[in-house]
Amino acid sequence: MKKIWGWVKDHWVPVVCCALIVIALPLAFFFSQRWGSAVHSKQEKAAGDLLTKLTSASKVNYAVPSVVPGVPALEQTAEPNEQRTAFFKAQKDAIVGAASGVLSSAEKFNRRNHTLIMEDIFPDPERGQDIDSLTLDFAERIVGRVSPTGVVVRPSVYQKLFDSINAGPPADPVRLATMLEDRRLREIEKIKGPDTGRTLTKEEEAQLAKALVDARLAEYQRRARELSVYASMDSLPSTADAREGSWVPRTMPTSPPKVWECFAWQFDYWVIDDLLAAVGRANTGPDGRLTDVERSVVKRVEKIKLDDAGFYEKEGITQARRGGGDEEPAAAEVVASETDEVKPDFKESLTGRTAAPVNKANGVYDIRRAEMTVIVSSARLPQLLSAISSTNFMTVLDCDMTEVSVWGDLAQGYYYGNEHVTRATLTIETVWLRSLTKPLMPHDVRVQLNIADEQKSEGEKPAGEGEGKGPA
C-alpha cells in the first residue's frame, strides 16, 4: 500500500488527470443530455410555430352571417378551394339579399302612402328661413282656414283623410229642421184645404206627426246612403284629451309653434291616417268600392285617442306641448342602438315590444298607441281587425264591447240600418321604423332620443336654435 501511495505521490499529475477524466465523463453526459433536451424543445417549438403559421395560412375562415337575433353565424375553417368558396359566397349573398329584401319590404309597407303635410320644414328649416311663418303655415294646414263669410279657403288635411274614406257627419240638424218645418206647413195646408181657420183633429195631428217622422227617417237614410262611415273632426283627439295623450289642434295657436311640435302633429297625422285607412279597407266591398253606411262593417268612428308619442314624455317637451313652458328637452340617458337586438318585455306590452320612454336603447322603431271607439257590425267585427293588421304594422291589444243605444243614436241622426251593431273600443299598438322617421326628426327630438344630428357638422347648431326665431 505504501508503495502504491508513494507511486501516486511521485506521479500525481497523471493521477489527477485520470481522476478528472473519470469525473468529467458522467458530468459531460448529464449536461449534454440537458442541453440537448433544451435545444430539442426549442427547435421543436420553433418548428411547431412555423407549422401552425403554415397551416393557418393554408386555411380560410368561411362564414354565413346570421340575420336572426340570438342565432350564431355558420362558420367553417378549411382549406380554400373554388367549390367551397363559391358555395359560401352564394349562401351569404342569398341571406344578405333576402334580409335586405325583407327590410326594404318592411319599410315600403310601413311607409305606405304617407306624405308630409308640408315640405321644407323637417328635420329643421334651412338657415335664413322665417321659421315662425313656416310653423304657422304648418298649423294652418292642420286647422284649415275659413273666410269670414264661412267659405272654406283651405280645408284641413284631416278633412282630406275623411274624404278619402267617404266619411262625414250625419244630416245637418239645422237644415233638417228647416226642411221639416216647411214639410209641416205644407201638410197642414193640404189637410185644412180652403178652411184655413180650423184646427186639426187628433187623427190629423197623428197623421201629420207620422208623416214628419217618416220624412225625418227618410232624410237620415238618404244621408246614410251618401256616406260610407260617420266620422268628422269631432272624432279626433281634442284638447280635452291632452292630459292623457296627444291632441289635434282645432284653432290656430296664439303664438308660432316649435318645429318639434309640428313634427309631433305630423306623426299624429300619420297614425290617424293609418287608422282611418283601416276603416276604409274594412268598408270596401268585393267590387273595390266603398259601401254605404247600411252595408259598411264600420258604421261610425266615435272617437280616436293617441298617446303622447313616447319620446315627448320628458317634462320639457310634454309641458311645452301643452302650453306650460318652452324648455329644451334634456338629453336621453341611454344611447339608442340601431343594431342591437330589441328584446321583448311582456311585462310592458302584450306583444313584448317596447320603445321610448320605457326602452330608450331601442333605436330600431318607435311605438304609438291609439284607442279607437267605433260602432261596428257585431257579426263582421273580425273584418275590421283583419283590416287593421293588413294596413300597417298595427296590432289590436284589446277590444272592449258595449251595447249601443240604436234609438238614441237615431235621434241624433245616426242611421245604422237593420244589422246588429256594437260599440267596440280598440286599443291598437302601431310600430314605426326609425329608418323612416329618423331622417325627419328635428334637432330637439334627436336630443331627446340621443340621436346624432348627422346632417350637422360638429359644433354647428340647427337653424333657429339659440337666439332669434325657432326652437330656443
Lowest mean pLDDT among 90-94, 196-200, 226-230, 447-451: 90-94
pLDDT, tens digit, 9 for 90 and up, residues 193-203: 777 778 888 88
Residue 406 DSSP code: H
Higher pLDDT, 285 or 56: 285
Q: Round to whole Å and give the CA distance between 292 and 419.
A: 13
Q: What local confidence, expressed as pLDDT, does residue 422 receive?
A: 98
Integer Cα distance of 116 and 440 in angstroms:
10
| Block residue for cell numbers 334580409 | 99
Q: CA 283, 285, 290, 296 torsion: positive or negative?
A: negative
Q: What residues form DSSP beta bridges with 62?
A: 76
d(CA 268, CA 161): 13
- 371 touches 430 (CB < 8 A): no
DSSP letter at 452 equals -
Residue in 452, 432, 456 with CA at minimum distance from that of residue 337:
452
Residue 15 grid coordinates: 493521477
Q: Give phi and psi for 232, each to the nearest 5.
A: -155, -175
Q: Give 305-341 pLDDT, tens digit per residue.
A: 998 765 554 444 444 444 444 445 444 456 777 777 7
Say if residue 52's pLDDT is above 90: no
pLDDT for 357:
75
Residue 220 scores a pLDDT above 90: yes
Which alpha helices (H) appear in 354-468, and where do they start and end? 381-391, 406-411, 434-437, 443-449
Q: Is the pLDDT of residue 248 over 70?
A: yes
Q: DSSP label at 360?
A: T
Torsion of CA 182, 184, 189, 190, to 10 degrees: 110
Q: How many angstroms separate the CA atoms of 16 and 421, rounded? A: 126
DSSP 51-89: HHHHHHHT-EEEEE---STTPPPEEEEE---HHHHHHHH
Output the CA angle 251-249-120, nearest 5 degrees: 100
Query: Distances from the Cα of 472 to the Cαs of 138, 141, 468, in angstroms?
Result: 19, 24, 8
The pTM assigned to this predicted structure is 0.75
* pLDDT at position 319: 42
CA distances from 134 to 87, 129, 288, 465 (A): 56, 8, 39, 15
Closest CA to 368 of 275, 238, 234, 231: 275
Distance between CA atoms of 421 and 415, rounded to whole angstroms? 11
What per-residue confidence (pLDDT) applies to 362? 84
Do 165 and 290 contact (CB within 8 A), yes or no? yes
Task: Give mean pLDDT, residues 231-245.
Answer: 83
Give the pLDDT confidence score for residue 472 in this predicted structure.
Answer: 30
Q: What is the pLDDT of residue 2?
A: 62
Q: Which residue has the cell 268585393?
A: 286
